[in-house]
């Protein structure tokens, strides 16, 4: 199957949808061991184009040759696709052996009668690679460990029933999103996908076709370029049974309800324009809750760079970028932290925003907030808690901060209420807390996490780590509808195929190695390679991708050497 770079005409799109219908029937009849084999073949195909993939994505974002920023494209592109395809192959292999994809995963009980299942680390190599990090998927209240394991697998083990044909509308900011979404549609629902790329990644079409060749060959995937008109035609096509979109709430609502007066009428009559189900991941305003503590100068500097990274990664063009820093009004070190945050904005390498419309959004943020500061092309502003920074996902290097009264658990409870009730969206929330402050809160800390209504929560990490983990779930907190879609509906990734998960919680070390050990944390993790100031991010990302393609202790050592020089 070969597709030209130009958007295909409607007859060509019609033909692809017919082929995908046949492909869905073929996949439905395919024995589970053969499905595992196909995903192993996908891993090999992705490995074969990994360098072209990363380099082409970097060029699309105007990243200079040899820049450490290229590490972002290795890690968020082919590395993520390799991890995901391998996870699904393992899930199929477990089902082939008559086991649940969740068998062997440790569980514990967390607040609200929830079962938490650990998805990181699993195995000795993961313990070394992610030393000091852990991740759990929290199920809704009342789901026992036995039920979790019994229901895991979704439709991956179902043979003989087709999931039909879906349309995947790909994102334009992270190059692995569209392939990962197509993977999940196929594995979780037995649904083949026509993937329409965002125009920003048009140059990746040929690379995607080669990376997904095993799926394309059996009629499980087709990939096309195209603008909004192509997407609109496909979304309302009678050959499409379901739509999945990663993008903005405005785009979602246009697909579902239409525009202008038509949309108003359809909403009032509860008569959506879209006649098939839709799932989505739509971003939002992500909080970074900084719990007051007693920090050293090195802590202040490190965590300021950490917070800056949550905003500046990918030039700020991430649906999961941190946007609202919640600080303690009574924290004696608040002003010192803000000074370090300004210093991080000034010190980290300047980078031109590349996503369409970024310059306009930067100007809008400055115009809407009195006293907004522009530092090295980035905007830092104080929020009143009732301004556009709470409601507008800027998708650009704009970072706001808001003061909340209290210290310890009192502060954390107030910050959770602010994040839940005032900020738009429920995709991800970050919490930064030093080990002593966390210990002093006892059970109240984890109870506060349970109260945070977000699909991914990161403690001393960035929620994007959850995006990268194949075994974690990715999506908004449950409960959204097409009428009030928020950050989206349903999840993707979910490598253990858990049924009805509530959220993922990622935990990392407060301090990098070697400061972590005398600071009371047994973590040997260096400065993370995704940090905006990581000097060896490109070589670390390249080697990490090579490791994911063929894990071994020798390749793991090859990752660690540059990682410790970051």
Question: Smallest Cα–Cα separation from 401: which of 413, 420, 415?
Answer: 415
Q: What would the pLDDT profile of 37-83 be if each residue is shown by its tens digit?
A: 999 999 999 999 999 999 999 999 999 999 999 999 999 999 999 99
Strand ranges (E), 88-213: 107-110, 114-120, 134-138, 165-169, 192-196
Three-state DSSP class for residue 109: strand
Q: What would the pLDDT profile of 126-155 be if each residue is shown by its tens digit?
A: 999 999 999 999 999 999 999 999 999 999
CA angle 449, 75, 194 (to 5 degrees): 90
Q: Residue 347: pLDDT band by 50, 70, 90 thresholds?
A: very high
Is the pLDDT at 497 greater than 90? The verdict is: yes
C-beta atoms surrounding 558 within 10 Å: 18
CA 136 to CA 117: how far, in whole Å? 5
C-beta atoms surrounding 350 within 10 Å: 9
Which range is least confidently modeled, 1-15, 255-269, 506-520? Answer: 1-15
Question: Smallest Cα–Cα separation from 471: which of 130, 53, 49, 26?
Answer: 130
Q: Residue 93: pLDDT band by 50, 70, 90 thresholds?
A: very high
Q: What would the pLDDT profile of 251-275 be if each residue is shown by its tens digit?
A: 999 999 999 999 999 999 999 999 9
The pair phi, psi for residue 452, each rounded to 5°, is -70, 115
Is the pLDDT at 250 greater than 60? The verdict is: yes
Strand pairing class (456-459; 503-507): parallel
Give the chain's radius of gyration (CA, Å). 23
CA dihedral over 538, 320, 331, 459, signed as positive or negative: negative
Q: Which residues pair with 219 in a beta bridge?
A: none
Q: What is the mean pLDDT of residues 470-488?
A: 98
Q: Which residues pair with 488 in a beta bridge?
A: 281
- The DSSP annotation for 358-378 comes to HHHHHHHHHHHSTT-EEETTE
Q: What is the mean pLDDT of residues 368-379?
A: 96
* CATH T-level topology, domain 286-528: Aldehyde Dehydrogenase; Chain A, domain 2 (3.40.309)
User: Using omega within 30 degrees of 0 as the cis cutoff, is the peptide bond preceding 121 cis?
Assistant: yes
Q: Residue 3: pLDDT band by 50, 70, 90 thresholds?
A: very low
Q: Which H helix or E strand runs over 224?
A: strand 221-224
User: Using omega within 30 degrees of 0 as the cis cutoff, is the peptide bond preceding 508 cis?
Assistant: no
Q: Which residues pair with 318 in a beta bridge?
A: none
Q: What would the pLDDT profile of 185-239 be if each residue is shown by its tens digit?
A: 999 999 999 999 999 999 999 999 999 999 999 999 999 999 999 999 999 999 9
Query: What is the reported pLDDT for 109?
Result: 98
Q: Is 410 exposed, middle or buried (0-12, 13-18, 19+ CB in 10 A)?
A: middle
CA dihedral over 383, 389, 390, 394, signed as positive or negative: negative
Is the pLDDT at 364 greater than 70? The verdict is: yes
What is the chain's mean pLDDT, rounded?
A: 97
Locate 65 and state its tokens.
């040759």
Cβ 299 vs Cβ 512: under 8 Å: no
The ranges assigned to domains in the chain are 286-528
Overall pTM surpassing 0.85 (yes/no): yes
Is the pLDDT at 119 greater than 90? The verdict is: yes
C-beta atoms surrounding 8 within 10 Å: 17
Q: Residue 6: pLDDT band by 50, 70, 90 thresholds?
A: confident
Is the pLDDT at 121 greater than 90? The verdict is: yes
Cβ 259 vs Cβ 56: under 8 Å: no
- What does the DSSP 8-state code read for residue 75? I
Q: Which residues pair with 244 in a beta bridge?
A: 168, 279
Buried b (16+ CB within 10 A) or exposed e, 118-133: ebbbbeeebeebbbbb
Q: Residue 7: pLDDT band by 50, 70, 90 thresholds?
A: confident
Is the pLDDT at 1 greater than 80? The verdict is: no
Q: Which residues pair with 287 in a beta bridge?
A: 324
Q: Residue 339: pLDDT band by 50, 70, 90 thresholds?
A: very high
CA 384 to CA 382: how far, in whole Å? 7
Is the pLDDT at 5 greater than 90? The verdict is: no
Cβ 222 vs Cβ 1: under 8 Å: yes
């Amino acid at each position: 199957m070969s597709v030209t770079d130009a958007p295909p005409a409607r007859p060509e799109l019609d033909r692809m949808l017919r082929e995908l219908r046949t492909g869905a029937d073929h996949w439905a009849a395919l024995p589970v061991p053969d499905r595992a084999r196909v995903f192993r073949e996908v891993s090999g195909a992705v490995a074969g184009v990994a360098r072209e993939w990363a380099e082409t994505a970097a060029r699309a974002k105007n990243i200079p040759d040899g820049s450490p920023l290229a590490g972002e494209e290795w890690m968020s592109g082919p590395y993520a696709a390799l991890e995901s395809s391998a996870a699904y192959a393992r899930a199929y292999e477990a089902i082939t052996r008559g086991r649940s994809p969740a068998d062997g995963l440790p569980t514990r009980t967390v607040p609200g009668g929830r079962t938490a299942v650990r998805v990181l680390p699993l195995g000795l190599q993961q313990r070394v690679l992610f030393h000091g990090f852990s991740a759990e998927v929290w199920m809704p209240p009342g789901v026992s460990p036995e039920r979790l394991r019994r229901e895991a697998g979704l439709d991956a083990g179902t043979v003989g029933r087709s999931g039909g044909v879906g349309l995947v509308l790909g994102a334009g900011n992270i190059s692995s999103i569209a392939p990962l979404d197509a993977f999940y549609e196929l594995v979780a629902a037995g649904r083949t996908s026509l993937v329409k790329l965002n125009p920003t990644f048009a140059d990746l079409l040929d690379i995607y076709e080669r990376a997904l060749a095993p799926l394309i060959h059996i009629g499980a995937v087709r990939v096309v370029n195209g603008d909004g008109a192509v997407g609109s035609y496909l979304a309302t096509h009678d050959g499409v049974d379901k739509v999945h979109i990663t993008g903005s709430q405005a785009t979602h609502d246009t697909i579902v309800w239409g525009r202008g007066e038509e949309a108003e009428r359809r909403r009032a009559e509860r008569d959506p324009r879209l006649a098939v189900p839709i799932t989505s991941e739509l971003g939002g305003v992500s909080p970074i809750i900084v719990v007051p503590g007693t920090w050293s100068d090195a802590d202040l500097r490190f965590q300021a760079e950490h917070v800056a990274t949550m905003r500046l990664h990918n030039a700020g063009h991430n649906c999961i970028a941190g946007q609202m820093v919640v600080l303690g009004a009574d924290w004696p070190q608040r002003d010192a932290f803000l000074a370090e945050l300004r210093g991080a904005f000034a010190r980290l390498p300047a980078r031109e925003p590349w996503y369409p419309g970024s310059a306009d959004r930067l100007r809008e943020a400055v115009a809407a907030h009195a006293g907004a500061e522009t530092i090295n092309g980035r905007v830092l502003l104080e929020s009143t808690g009732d301004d556009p920074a709470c409601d507008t996902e800027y998708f650009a290097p704009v970072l706001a901060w808001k003061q909340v009264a209290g210290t310890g658990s009192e502060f954390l409870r107030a910050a959770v209420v602010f994040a839940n009730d005032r900020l738009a969206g429920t995709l991800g929330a970050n919490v930064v807390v030093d080990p002593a402050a966390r210990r002093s809160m006892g059970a109240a800390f984890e109870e506060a996490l349970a109260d945070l209504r977000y699909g991914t929560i990161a403690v001393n990490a960035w929620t994007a780590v959850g995006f990268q983990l194949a075994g974690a779930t990715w999506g908004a907190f449950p409960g959204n509808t097409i009428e009030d879609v928020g950050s989206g509906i349903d999840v993707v990734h979910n490598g253990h195929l858990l049924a009805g998960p509530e959220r993922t919680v990622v935990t990392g070390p407060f301090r990098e190695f070697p400061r972590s050990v005398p600071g009371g944390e047994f973590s040997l993790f260096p400065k993370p390679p995704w940090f905006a100031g990581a000097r060896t991010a490109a070589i670390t990302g390249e080697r990490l991708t090579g490791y994911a393609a063929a894990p071994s202790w020798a390749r793991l050592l090859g990752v660690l050497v540059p990682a410790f020089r970051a």
